[in-house]
A and B are shown apart, each in its own frame.
Chain A
Amino acid sequence: MMKKVFFILYMVALLGLTIFSYLFIDPNLIYLKDFYSGFVYKHRYLTSFFYLLIIFVFFTSYFLLLKLISKKKIDFKNLRFLIFITIAISFFSYPAMLSFDIFNYVTTGKVLFFYHENPYIVMPIEFVGDPLLSFTHAANKIALYGPSWILLTAIPYFVGIGNFLLTIFSFKLFVSIFYLGTVFLIWKISKNLVSVSFFAFNPLVIIETLLGGHNDIVMIFFTLLSFYILMKKKSIILAIIFFMLSIFVKYSTIFLFPIFVYIIWKTIQKKTIKWTKIFYFSSVSMLAVFLLSPTREEIYPWYAIWFLPFVSMVFQKRMLAYISLAFSFGLLLRYVPFMLFGTHLGVTPFFKTALTFIPVFFVLVYVFFKDKLWLKISFR
């Protein structure tokens, strides 16, 4: 019964989100003008309500799945099928529903591969008259991402054979392959279905990676690959290459550099490595970087991908797992104020911050009382 309820809820959330995403088509996106409805601009309350409903259903099904897996009611085969379904359905969603980064990836790719200019020197806006400029939001900036990412985008860019829609969906497919690779690595490292589900079916991961096509998953994939290579005592050089590739996707994994050096050092000394500790400290480091991100710009929801894969491997650390889940939920709520008010100014920033941290606050209060931490503190 529980399995059936889960499946129905999950399908409702996934299909609902995919269809709902097309209501967010940008009015300037000429390539999809036949699908443009303007619904989200005309019906802000209704849009926010539907979005919240989908998020709640998504999280309910996610928690049901985690429960089903911990009770061993879902096996490896079922999970494999679910992952396939998730990728297949999300692939058809409109990627710029919540962020326009995928357009930036395509535009940056065009600067390099079509115009043959250095995207770190020349901004897309300099190509006056380019049709992509009407809907690319960071056209007035030079490339924001690392060289590994820009060079890797040659694959989806050329697969798109100059057709914008084909290019967009080949970028989505490209990112989906890295999602699959990351999930596979989590399975190979942990051999635990809960770890796999904790990451693979987290609504934030699905929305930001499979729907939004954010490249954070590519960065994480290469880090996990380098850790996995070291775990299996294979080539250190190969591990270093993959770790460097990861850093030069989006730079954030540079904060794992001390941990990486420690693993290398232990590997050279042929000493046992406590991988649980490695993943725990990796989670904490990436969570810290995530929390420090407002010093640069702001906390974007997809930044949670930096720590979620590591947390999934130490999900037994209850506090860390709870905080990660609370952040996953809170970060998806972060989109609601803009949907509702249609502006990034005024009260929107306050509500965005509040919605991000309120779930975390409640989780901390819950853990504090459930574990009777107040008793432990007072008896100290």
Chain B
Amino acid sequence: MRNLYLHAIILATILLLYAAKSALAQSSYVLPYPPPMPGSIFYKIRLISEQIQKYWYFGNFGQFSYNLKQSDKYLVQAKTLFEYKQHLLGEEALKKSDMYFKYTSKYLSYAKEENKNIDRQQKTLKEAALKHIEILNKIKIHAPKEIIWNPEKSQPTKILLSGTLAEAIRIRESCL
């Protein structure tokens, strides 16, 4: 009987450790710190550096890294802006993140055409997609489904945030 308890404890510990490990594996991809936000002087510098880096990261693997890096940054920016109820700016950042994320797959397929082994990059992309979806789902909980935007000199516009978030998730899911 005593042995049975012992075995049960060992088994439970192993299962617990395994579960903890797999939970960690799911979110092992690390996103960057929030970048400079719109309105700050550093944001303008960031935009210039973003354009310069586009040329520095030449090559298909280079472009893959560049686009994924930018996609990560804009996602973190969107998350931060949504947290501060800056929904319009948040939506804009999210769309940019989506755009960069779509390019990652494009450059990976170019690399494949050049007979480069893309297994490693594909794995990274999947991990990134999982992490992005995790963040997007968190945003989804707190962000309103839609917002009414009142520009100064024109008609108010209804923005469907839920639609943008669903589209962002769909883009990431297509990589899994």
Contacts and interface: CB of A to CB of B under 8 A. Distances in A.
A1 interface: no
A116 B58 contact: yes
Interface string A102-132: 0000000000000111101110001111000
A118 B116 contact: no
Contacts of A121: 56-57, 59, 61-62, 65
B13 interface: no
A117 B119 contact: no
Interface residues of A, number: 11
Interface in A147-176: none
Among B59, B60, B114, B121, chain A packs the most CB atoms within 10 A around the CB of: B59
Contacts of A122: 59, 61-62, 65
Interface string B56-72: 11111110010000000
B61 to A, nearest CB: 5
B59 A118 contact: yes
A117 B58 contact: yes
Given A121-B65, A122-B65, A128 B59 contact: no
A121 B53 CA distance: 11
A128 B56 contact: no
B145 to A, nearest CB: 40
B27 interface: no
Contact of A126 (B56, B58, B61, B114): B61
A-side binding surface: helix, strand, loop or mixed? loop
B59 to A, nearest CB: 3
Contacts of A129: 117
B19 to A, nearest CB: 31
Contacts of B60: 117
Nearest to A130: B117
A128 B120 CA distance: 8
A162 to B, nearest CB: 15
A120 B120 CA distance: 18
Interface string A317-344: 0000000000000000000000000000
Given A121-B62, A122-B65, A128 B57 contact: no
Interface of B: 56-62, 65, 114, 116-117, 119-121
Interface of A: 115-118, 120-122, 126-129
